[in-house]
């Protein structure tokens, strides 16, 4: 049973940075993707970044490319997302999500396992 626990959100000034953490556990098979997906108020979910675990394969949404980075720390089973040059439109609940053998790693509908989310508010 995969479990994902996010942390690191908060209130940040525009132009600043935030680093989110997702501690992942319970993977029993290979081929896993872990993504950061956000949902702004009154908007649909948007895949921000995804990592094919155990590799350096990463995927980024065009809307954030150049401002975000996703990476994994295998020593503590954590996947990080850093967002730089924050804008008010980055305000959202950020979720960590995981699933296997995906065709579209940035499509939120591909993911079945989700964390509880962490709020990022940019003002």
Q: Which of 81, 78, 57 is nearest to 68 (CA)?
A: 81
Identify the pLDDT of residue 51: 96
DSSP codes, 66-120: TTEEEEEEGGGTEEEEEE-S--GGG-EEEEEEEEES-S-TT-GGG--EE---EEE
Identify the pLDDT of residue 119: 98
Q: How is residue 63 annotated by DSSP? A: T
Identify the pLDDT of residue 42: 93
> In the numeric block, which tokens belong to residue 3?
């479990």
CA distance 72 to 79: 4
Identify the pLDDT of residue 101: 85
CA distance 83 to 105: 19
Residues in the chain: 123
**pLDDT tens digit at each of 123 positions of the chain:** 899 999 999 999 999 999 999 999 998 888 899 999 999 999 999 999 999 998 999 999 999 999 999 999 988 999 999 999 999 999 999 999 999 988 999 999 999 999 999 999 999
Identify the pLDDT of residue 72: 93
**Under 8 Å between Cβ of 105 and 34:** no
CA distance 94 to 70: 13
């Amino acid at each position: 049973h995969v479990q994902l626990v996010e942390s690191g959100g908060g209130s940040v000034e525009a132009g600043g940075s935030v680093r989110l953490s997702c501690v992942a556990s319970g993977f029993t098979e290979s081929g896993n993707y872990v993504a950061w997906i956000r949902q702004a108020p009154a908007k649909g979910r948007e895949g921000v970044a995804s990592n094919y675990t155990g590799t350096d394969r990463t995927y980024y949404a065009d809307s954030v490319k150049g401002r975000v980075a996703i990476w994994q720390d295998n020593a503590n089973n954590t996947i990080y997302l850093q967002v730089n040059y924050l804008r008010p439109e980055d305000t959202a609940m950020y979720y960590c999500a995981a699933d296997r053998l995906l065709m579209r790693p940035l499509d939120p509908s591909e993911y079945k396992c989700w964390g509880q989310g962490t709020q990022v508010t940019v003002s």
